[in-house]
Amino acid sequence: MTKFIPHHKTSTTSGVSSAELPGRPYEECGVFGVWGAPDASALTALGLHALQHRGQEAAGIVSLDGGSFHQHKGLGLVGEVFGDEAVMSTLKGTAAIGHNRYATTGGTHLRNVQPIYADYAFGGMAVAHNGNLTNAATLRRQLVQRGCIFQSGMDTEVFVHLIALSTAPTITDRLIEAARQVKGAYSLLALLPDGTLAGMRDPLGVRPLVLGRLPDCGEGGWVLASETSALDIIGAEFIRDIEAGELVIINKEGIKSLRPFGAQGNRFCVFEYIYFARPDSILEGHPVYTARTRIGRELARESGVAADVVVPVPDSGVPSAIGYAAESGIPFELGIIRNHYIGRTFIEPTDQIRNLGVKMKHSANKAVLAGKRVVLIDDSIVRGTTSRKIVDMVRAAGAAEVHMRIASPPTKHPCYYGIDTPSENHLLAARHTVEEMAELIGADSLAFISFDGLYKALGDEDQREAANRYCDACFTGDYPITLVDRDGHLLQA
């Protein structure tokens, strides 16, 4: 018989508003799990620190100690949620899973923080995932009609109810049966009542998940994480990527690999290399830093311009700017200084807050910019609001010319697979030509890397073959996973 012991919570909740109901419940988050290691929760907290870039709104950990589950979750950064030694002392056990949340839908409430814990007839179970279930609204409606009661606005909770309704003979079989009913892009961790740690990637492997192992832990020490940088922080050795459609089961019997979906190929998210992953991570065999510097080199070859300095928009533009400077021979300078104590402004809820966020997060280095022809390097342009503010800032610092170069193709389509991008009518590249975009953001010139240049930087010379190995739907509109609306109607096959 498993027991669940909730601990101190750092926020209260309120009623669910209509805005919190699932429409496109996508979010780019981080997951981390440990099995068979002393201080599993402390290791998980460290792993979440290394994945902080994947979500800054909230964090949570569930641990398992014998037959008892322990949970703590809160709103804020990992250090704020788990910085209290008294809190960490309550999260006992040698197995734990954790989650960082990057909010997109569901509202800023504690009930929308993962992992989710549920008591079943067969015992307790905790689940956390990164990504988006594209048929979550349809499944949710069907489950509610069957009598299921949802406590959050997260699509993760769909897994919980599907597992509860399954009649499969084992917990692993229930998990597989639930996974076969959902569509979407996800990396999922589950902590089972018998002490098993399970990890699963969606059939096309859109979202990342890696396997590592800690030294000196006997038969244990297994680690699952969104990125290899989270392994590095706890001294774990990278073993391999969890493959597309793979389910790994880790327990006292060892580690077992299952393939519940069969072979369906791999469409890893190319935007992980461009923006989301930490530059010191290695994903799908590619060092992210190397990929970004090579993108910068290709960008310089494709769209060079006479200039005095190459300046990155920190931090995600830095590696590409280094590559651009190396290839072009133009000096690299830190012409924009970032305040690292301010959260991301990639997507903020209102224009007013977004504009304030840019001013709080970046400041111009006038000594570098004054009188110079500047090449600004950034990872992407979404709405264009941030780009306009950055260009204005650089001009106000005295730059003679401002040329913007972007380390990705134009973002013309929303992502439904786990990255928060707005609807198409809010995407600048969906509504304007490159020349029009340059005028709107106030740049003297604007250029994006081509698809050929992007995939060449990733080591793929054949663009068509490379496009079949990656998900680049935000650039092309080619969605590899079926999309359905709230009523279950097919939007795209």
Supply the residues annotated as catalytic. 29
**How does strand 470-471 pair with strand 268-269?**
parallel
Is 379 labeled as ligand-binding? yes
Phi, psi (degrees; rounded to nearest 5) at 6? -75, 150
- DSSP structure class, residue 332: B
Is 269 labeled as ligand-binding? yes
Is 148 labeled as ligand-binding? no
Is 487 labeled as ligand-binding? no
State the CB neighbour count (10 A cutoff) for residue 257: 11
For residues 30 and 53, give the distance between their C-alpha atoms in angstroms, rounded to a whole number: 8
For residues 19 and 239, give the distance between their C-alpha atoms in angstroms, rounded to a whole number: 42
2, 104, 120, 7: which is closest to 61 by C-alpha? 7
Half-sphere CA count of 407, side-chain side, radius 13 A: 35
Angle at which helix 385-396 crosses helix 351-361, to 10 degrees, equals 40
Is 316 labeled as ligand-binding? yes
| β-sheet bridge partners, residue 74 | 59
Q: CA–CA distance from 82 to each of 9, 78, 249, 446 (Å)? A: 11, 6, 27, 43
110, 114, 79, 108: which is closest to 186 by C-alpha? 114
For residues 78 and 45, give the distance between their C-alpha atoms in angstroms, rounded to a whole number: 7
339, 309, 201, 323: which is closest to 273 by C-alpha? 323
Tokens of 253: 């019997």
User: Which segments are annotated as binding site for [4Fe-4S] cluster?
Assistant: 269, 415, 471, 474
User: Which segments are annotated as binding site for Mg(2+)?
Assistant: 316, 378-379
User: Which segments are annotated as binding site?
Assistant: 269, 316, 378-379, 415, 471, 474
